[in-house]
Amino acid sequence: MITEAVRRLKNGDVVAFPTETVYGLGADATNNLAIQKIYAVKDRPSHHPLIVHLAAPMMLLANAKTTTDVLADAWLQIISPWVRDLPPAAMQLILAFWPGPLTLVLKKDKHVLDTITGGQSTVAIRSPSHPLAQELLAAFGEALVAPSANRFGKVSPTRAADVYAEFGNESEILVLDGGDCEFGIESTIVDLTASEGIRLLRPGMITPSSIYAKTGLHIDTFKSSEQETVSPRVSGSFKAHYAPNTPLQLYQTDKLNTSLNELDAQIAVQNHLRKLRIGLGVWESTANLPTVPSHIALSSVQLEIFTLPSDHLSFANSLYRTLRDLDLQNYDIILLPEPPAGEVWDGARDRLQRAAFGSGPSSANQASN
């Protein structure tokens, strides 16, 4: 499979492969025509920049004993064709988190293709930790650009079957099957190009606190509403993204009964000929279980209740898979609890809010606003 994947990549074709976050749609990062195929397959607007995926140093993958200096030197050689001015903080982050789910935005080298960066002066890079991704990168011998392997604005894939489902018509796309993705949401993105400090562009499973704990570096976070104006080119910053076709609404756990009553009343006035089917997700931990509303008289909706993992790692890991599976249940509405406050939930909460905003049959239109 790897040999065939490499052959196709050399030929300028796209290949889907697993990473520890989500599946990516990879193409040769030095081949303009191959990169353009990604935009075409995804229906992605051409000014949305892509992440360059790099192989990790062999010594690291082989678990060979080495010094930090030697390792830093090895990373530098891998990165230097892509970036100029590597700030010391970038190397600290690389040594602490690579290979892994952290993407760095840095000033680009002049040879980096405009099709990757959308013509910007910066480039996003990361080295994924999934063994199959590393095997592919090593065998290919060149960097790969890889957006998530989904159509623009839709739910990202976290298993090979999702990629097939997404690109059914282009079934000639080769998909390397690496099982379920470990993290389940896209990498954390930080921008190191501003003089004022390091900024969080996309929350993920590597949080500002974990970065601070490991490196002592402070990461500036800012609200998504600000992000949209400051950084319109982070496509994940669209309010509508990661969206299922079934309308998705979020409720506050302590206000479930109120939300259900309101929804029931709204639907009642719409005069449907039947009760609407609501897929209602509740936290599985008994501590968080809402008073399941058996006593509530709902006249216009029928609830089908399922549980969601209440720890942040399992929740993120299964989030996209759950959204995809729920989309196949033909519910009229999906109702999910808002994740709790707290930084470890930021990534999942961010994705879920965008998914809710963009959900429904017309989500593709909203997403590309």
Which of 19, 21, 31, 148: binder of Mg ion (CB under 5 A)? 148
Q: Which is nearer to ligand TXA, 24 or 337 (CB)?
A: 24
**Which residue, chain included where needed, has tokens 């998504």?**
224
* Stretch 271-310: interaction string toward ligand TXA, x if CB under 6 A: ----------------------------------------
Report whether the peptide linkage leading into residue 99 is cis, meaning its omega lies within 30 degrees of zero: yes
Q: How does strand 333-337 pair with strand 248-251?
A: parallel
Q: Tell whether residue 123 is a contact of ligand TXA (CB under 6 A).
A: yes
Query: Which residue, among 241, 202, 237, has the nearest Cα to 359 in the 3D structure?
Result: 241
Query: Which residue, among 288, 305, 295, 285, has the nearest Cα to 253 in the 3D structure?
Result: 288
Distances (CA, A) of 102 to 66, 72, 142, 297: 22, 17, 20, 48
* Stretch 304-323: interaction string toward ligand TXA, x if CB under 6 A: --------------------
Query: Which residue, among 205, 172, 165, has the nearest Cα to 186 in the 3D structure?
Result: 205
Q: Tell whether residue 105 is a contact of ligand TXA (CB under 6 A).
A: yes
- Work out how close the CB of 253 gets to ligand TXA at its nearest, in angstroms, rounded to a whole number: 28
3-state secondary structure at position 282: strand
Which of 127, 134, 158, 235: binder of ligand TXA (CB under 6 A)? 235
The letter for the amino acid at 122 is: T
Q: Tell whether residue 122 is a contact of ligand TXA (CB under 6 A).
A: yes
Inter-residue contact 146 to 19 (CB < 8 Å)? yes
* Stretch 48-77: interaction string toward ligand TXA, x if CB under 6 A: xxxx--------------------------
Inter-residue contact 150 to 157 (CB < 8 Å)? yes
- Work out how close the CB of 204 gets to ligand TXA at its nearest, in angstroms, rounded to a whole number: 7
- Work out how close the CB of 90 gets to ligand TXA at its nearest, in angstroms, rounded to a whole number: 14
For residue 237, count CB atoms less than 10 angstroms from its CB and return exposed for 0-12, middle for 13-18, buried for 19 or more: buried
Q: Which stretch binds ligand TXA (CB under 6 A): 14-22, 158-166, 252-260, 340-348?
A: 14-22
Tokens at 153, concatenated: 């604005």
Q: Which is nearer to ligand TXA, 256 or 352 (CB)?
A: 352
> Which residue of this chain has its Cβ atom nearest to Mg ion in the complex?
148
- Work out how close the CB of 22 gets to ligand TXA at its nearest, in angstroms, rounded to a whole number: 5
Q: How does strand 198-202 pair with strand 24-28?
A: unpaired
Q: Which is nearer to Mg ion, 100 or 290 (CB)?
A: 100
The letter for the amino acid at 285 is: S
Interface with ligand TXA (CB under 6 A) = 19, 21-22, 24, 48-51, 101, 103, 105, 117, 120, 122-124, 128, 146-148, 186-187, 189, 201, 233-236
